[in-house]
Structure 1
Amino acid sequence: MKQLVLSMMAYAVQRDVDAAQLCKLSGIDLTALKKKNAAPVTAQQLQDLWLNAGRLTNDPLFGLHFGEALQPAALGIVGEIIQSSATVGEALTHAAALTHLVTDQCRMEINRSAKTFSVKLIPVTDYGATPPYAFRQLIDLLLVMIIHELDGLLLEKIIPQAARLAYTVPDPVEYERVFRCKPAKKQGEYLLVFDIRYWEEPLLTANYELQNLLLQKLSSLPQTGSQPQTLQTRIYNHLLANSYLGVSSLDAMAANFNISPRSLQRKLKEEGVKYQDIADAVRRSLAVYYISSGNYPLKDISWMLGYNELSAFTRAFKRWTGSTPMSYQSL
């Protein structure tokens, strides 16, 4: 729970929220929270944190977008279970048993049929069709994390066959974008359904090592605390943190920042930069970092950066650096 709260605050700061103000409004002592033996966050503090984070970012879908931005955290969860799992099904089964480490407000249940398997969140309290704001945000967060956890296990963007929620979503189009399928309302259910073919898929441990390398790079970034950053810096850091399945499009980035693509382009123009420039800077930085490690095939690196063909990655790398990936690797 402590790590979840700290991650929420970090994401709010990324969205240009002052961490000190967010903590003060939510009754949280950030200095005390960071200590090793910090007292647990109370239910009221967590409720206030969700409410204030959504208000200060002017984003009623804060939990949904927070989950979309939590891919490195999802990879960390994968790291806890991957050592004892050979397949996606085994990994999800282990993950279900670890749900209490993230929240005490619901548990996870896995069910299989001949053609599908489902991941269901079962609340401790039955709220009916009108759960509290904070609980809805938590459900959105967890369901999106499940999708990204599967992405991390397979290095593939997984598309659920169905998503069901007990409440009416406020923005169906945005939920469909993030969930990758149109969510349906069904009383008492918080559920994702996937094709059974994923269940027996072997875990791509070699690619997971590459993801760990990404996390090492992220950990080396300077800590910004509550200091304001330029928009291009916040976008660069966001793209870097969420790049293990390729660099997000302009439209996806704008949606995550809860503004229109045109507004995002205009704000970046005021800072003298284009979105494509930032995206290419992220790809270049990661490409050089991965190649310099000397441990991974160029084909794997090109996949990690979102290129389906090695030739496309080679052309891009030569445009960025003036040399081919193979030539750079031999330096």
Structure 2
Amino acid sequence: MASTAKRTITVHHVRALLRGARRHGLDTVPLLQAAGIPPLLPGDDRARVTPSQFALLFRALYRATGDEFLGLGPAPSRPGTFAMMCYASLGCRDLGAAVERGTAFYRLFPGGPDLALRRGEAEAVLTVRGALPDPFVDECLMIIWHRLCSWLVGRRIPLLRAHFAYPPPPHRDEYGPLFGCPVRFGAGATEAAFAAHWLAAPLVRDEDDLAVMLRRSPFELLSRRAYGTTVAEQVHSALARALRASPRLPTLVEVAARLAVSPATLRRRLQREGTSYQRLKDTVRRDAAIAGLAEGREPIAELAARLGFSEDTSFHRAFRRWTGTTPGAYRGQ
């Protein structure tokens, strides 16, 4: 039996990676095929890929471009630059000193990212200064630095907000789950804020830990994490676990009981986070369907039954609504 999937990734992020490839004059078709992504898929606004497919594409582009920014930055960043920055920061006394050393390290390189840490009494703010050629680089920098900081202190650092100095993209709904905090576009600066007390946290990693982390980076740091810090994440995790065990997903009443809240309270909290129980059910089934089709071994009729669809036609209608194409076309593209 195929496994239930992790959250899938919007095709808009695939397109962002391909922009760097095209700037290098690379043929994107072999890169997509090597990642198991149908070459026509990036043309569909509703399409999505699995984390495994995205990781394969990321690594293929990393090798092909020889650039840690994958051709998307103002200047190439030689492989090994990120690792040396991490080693330089590892010996610092606390997180604040490590962030300041790491950002100073990158400012040594022409065209490198210009990041700055602003300390306040209640908040610390990490800002990307200057305009980068592609907004995707801004987003990657924010994600990588946030998750690197969390890794250094051995605990997830909750973000208070994430702001971006450009208009909202078509896939704006992806950003809340990605950053795990309120997100605003059209802000005066691209920045992320967290509680200032984290800057005094001691570093708990050593060089052996770093060597292990670097073998999986940077994609490991870019991967979406379900921290369970929002109600939507808790519901999503409950639904994903249930789908691994049975085609029948629990009702809202059943999930509310597991979370020790009333159904009305659960509905209100999900609405406050910009989602709904039905939307989360669709997301879990959609991601599992895409993963099953990408793996390519399970017959579509069996996949539909495993995901709780009593008829193939119902599954086909749902999949078209989710992705803009049919299961057979997705697998056969």
Which TM-score tier does this pair reach, normalised by the shorter chain?
0.3 to 0.5
The higher relative CO (CA closer than 8 Å, separation ≥ 6) is in 2
TM-score (norm. length: structure 1):
0.45
